[in-house]
């Protein structure tokens, strides 16, 4: 299989354009799913402290036998660990659970609590060599820009919800202006909104002899947007990766671009009730 293309982050680190995510995969199933993903050819794995499956990801990394320098491992720090010292402890705990000496990317999971303190802890970890790149997740441009204005290291990545019905074009432009790489979580809309039954996507799938999911992932890849995709089904894991040997035309890309605005976010991080819910969620 061809090697997954990469994008160069603002500090020179190379990040694969397609990664395997483990959000909502139970710990008992995570090791098997990650091993299947690695065997299929994925080299970027995305987890988080809040997913409570970092240990299973670590076991899969070890069991795979793949050299560490061929892998790109991302995790995220949860908001209950916000602040300098708590974030430092949480970062070290994530490393232990993953069985790693160094992370490739560590993100602040959400823009709540003392994320200034968390960012200082991540800057220290970056300077110390325990992580190659640091970034954020679910930050809108205002919070992202404010973080940049008051700190030394510019986030390498902002991982946000993004799919053909919710394309975040203005947000992507704001990130690009500030050298921050947008990354898509939920690129297939988490199976919601009928995205994979969309007439445009299904027509393009027939034309290219692909699945609608493959069309979406190829669309993101051609836009140079890294994406995190999840599945526990071996066939689907392999299928989602099989997007390297075809190309969408400019007309195809324009048709997908025209789908923007069909839905809003699944998780509105500016909604007061959502903020209440997230702030009361404890990770054990």
φ and ψ at 245, to 5 degrees?
A: -115, 25
- The alpha carbons of the chain give a radius of gyration, in whole angstroms, of 18
> For residue range 176-212, what is the model confidence (pLDDT) as tens digits?
999 999 999 999 998 889 999 999 999 999 999 999 9
Distance CA 50, CA 257 (A): 32
Distance CA 62, CA 64 (A): 6
Q: Mention every residue, 6+ apart, whose C-beta is less than 8 A from residue 146.
A: none
- Give the position of tokens 């982050």: 9
127 in a known ligand binding site: no
Question: Does residue 275 form part of some domain?
Answer: no
* Nearest C-alpha neighbor of 75 from the set 96, 91, 99, 56: 91
Distance CA 93, CA 229 (A): 25
Residue 2 has pLDDT above 80, yes or no: no
Name beta bridge partners: 159: 137, 183
Distance CA 98, CA 118 (A): 20
Question: Does residue 6 form part of some domain?
Answer: no
- Give the position of tokens 């892998």: 71
- Cβ-contact 249, 223 below 8 angstroms: no
Query: Is 115 noted as a catalytic residue in this protein?
Result: no
Question: Does residue 226 form part of some domain?
Answer: yes
Identify the domain containing residue 175 by its residue range. 15-261
Bridge-based pairing of strands 72-77 and 157-161 is unpaired
pLDDT of residue 280: 86
Here the CATH number for the domain that contains residue 157 is: 3.20.20.100
Distances in whole angstroms, Cα of residue 98 to Cα of each of 76, 115, 232, 277:
12, 23, 20, 27
Question: Does residue 236 form part of some domain?
Answer: yes
Distance CA 253, CA 207 (A): 13
Active-site option among 42, 51, 115, 166: 51
pLDDT band at 1 (very low <50, low <70, confident <90, very high): low
Counting runs of H as helices and runs of E as strands, what totals does the chain give? 11, 10
Residue 284 has pLDDT above 80, yes or no: no
Q: Which range (59-68, 121-130, 258-267) has the least confidence?
A: 258-267
Q: Report the predicted TM-score, pTM, of the whole model to 2 decimal places.
A: 0.96
Question: Does residue 8 form part of some domain?
Answer: no
pLDDT band at 283 (very low <50, low <70, confident <90, very high): confident
> For residue range 50-93, what is the model confidence (pLDDT) as tens digits?
999 999 999 999 999 999 999 999 999 999 999 999 999 999 99
Question: Does residue 266 form part of some domain?
Answer: no
Bridge-based pairing of strands 18-21 and 14-16 is unpaired
Question: Does residue 267 form part of some domain?
Answer: no
For the chain, how many structural domains are there in total?
A: 1
Residue 108 has pLDDT above 90, yes or no: yes
Question: Does residue 268 form part of some domain?
Answer: no
pLDDT of residue 35: 98
Over the chain, what is the mean pLDDT? Answer: 96
């Amino acid at each position: 299989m061809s090697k997954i293309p990469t994008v160069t982050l603002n500090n020179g680190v190379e990040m694969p354009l397609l990664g395997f995510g483990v959000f909502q995969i139970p710990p008992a199933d995570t090791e098997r799913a990650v091993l299947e993903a690695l065997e299929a050819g994925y080299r970027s794995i995305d987890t988080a402290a809040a997913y409570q499956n970092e240990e299973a990801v670590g076991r899969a990394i070890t069991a795979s036998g793949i050299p560490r320098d061929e892998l790109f491992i991302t995790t995220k720090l949860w908001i209950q660990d916000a602040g300098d010292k708590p974030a430092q402890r949480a970062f070290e705990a994530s490393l232990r659970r993953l069985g790693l000496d160094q992370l490739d990317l560590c993100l602040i999971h959400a823009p709540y609590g003392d994320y200034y303190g968390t960012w200082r802890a991540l800057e220290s970890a970056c300077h110390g060599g325990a992580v190659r790149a640091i970034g954020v997740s679910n930050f809108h441009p205002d919070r992202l820009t404010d973080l940049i204005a008051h700190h030394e290291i510019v986030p390498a990545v902002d991982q946000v919800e993004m799919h053909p019905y919710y394309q975040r074009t203005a947000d992507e432009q704001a990130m690009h202006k500030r050298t921050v790489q947008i990354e898509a979580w939920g690129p297939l809309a988490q199976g919601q909104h009928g995205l994979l039954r969309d007439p445009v996507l299904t027509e393009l799938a027939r034309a290219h002899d692909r699945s609608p999911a493959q069309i979406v992932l190829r669309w993101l890849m051609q836009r140079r947007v890294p994406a995190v995709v999840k599945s526990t089904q071996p066939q689907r894991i392999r299928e989602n990766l099989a997007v390297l040997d075809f190309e969408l035309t400019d007309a195809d890309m324009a048709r997908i671009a025209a789908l923007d605005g069909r839905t809003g976010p699944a998780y509105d991080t500016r909604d007061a009730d959502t903020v209440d819910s997230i702030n009361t969620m404890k990770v054990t």
